[in-house]
Amino acid sequence: MALARGATAVSGTTTSPRHVAIIMDGNGRWATERGWPRLVGHRRGAERVKQIVRACPELGVDWLTVYAFSTENWRRSTEEVLGLMKIFRRYIRYEAEGMAAEGVRLRFIGGRDRLDSKLQDLMASIEARTSGNTRLNLTVAINYGGRDELLRASRRLAERIAQGEIQTPTQADLEACLDTAGQPDPDLVIRTSGETRTSNFLPWQAAYAEYEFTPTLWPDFTPDHLGAILDRFGMRERRFGGT
Q: Is 198 annotated as a binding residue?
A: yes
Q: Is 27 annotated as a binding residue?
A: yes
Q: Is 25 annotated as a binding residue?
A: yes
Q: Is 72 annotated as a binding residue?
A: yes
Closest of 165, 226, 174 to residue 22, by C-alpha? 226
Catalytic residue among 25, 143, 179, 187: 25
Q: Is 42 annotated as a binding residue?
A: yes
Q: Is 71 annotated as a binding residue?
A: yes
Q: Is 44 annotated as a binding residue?
A: no
Q: Is 38 annotated as a binding residue?
A: yes
Contact in structure between 112 and 123 (CB atoms under 8 Å): yes
Active site residue 231: no
3-state secondary structure of 39: helix
- For 7: left if phi > 0, alpha if psi spans -120 to 50, otherwise beta; the answer is beta
Q: Is 77 annotated as a binding residue?
A: no
Q: Is 48 annotated as a binding residue?
A: no
Q: Is 35 annotated as a binding residue?
A: no
- List the 210-213 sheet strands across, edge first: 104-109, 136-144, 63-70, 19-23, 188-191, 210-213
Q: Is 28 annotated as a binding residue?
A: yes
Contact in structure between 97 and 171 (CB atoms under 8 Å): no
Catalytic residue among 73, 185, 200, 220: 73
Active site residue 73: yes
Closest of 243, 237, 212, 241 to residue 3, by C-alpha? 237
Compute the distance between CA of residue 163 and CA of residue 30 in angstroms, rounded to an integer.
Answer: 50
Residues pairing with 142 in the sheet: 69
Element (H, E) at 150: helix 146-162
Burial label, 173 (beta-carbon count in 10 A; 0-12, 13-18, 19+): middle
Q: Is 26 annotated as a binding residue?
A: yes
Question: 3-class secondary structure for 59-120?
Answer: HCCCEEEEEEEECCHHHCCHHHHHHHHHHHHHHHHHHHHHHHHCCEEEEEECCCCCCCHHHH
Q: Is 170 annotated as a binding residue?
A: no
- The set of catalytic residues is 25, 73
- Annotated binding-site residue numbers for substrate: 26-30, 38, 42, 70-72, 74, 76, 191, 197-199
- Annotated binding-site residue numbers for Mg(2+): 25, 210
- Annotated binding-site residue numbers: 25-30, 38, 42, 70-72, 74, 76, 191, 197-199, 210
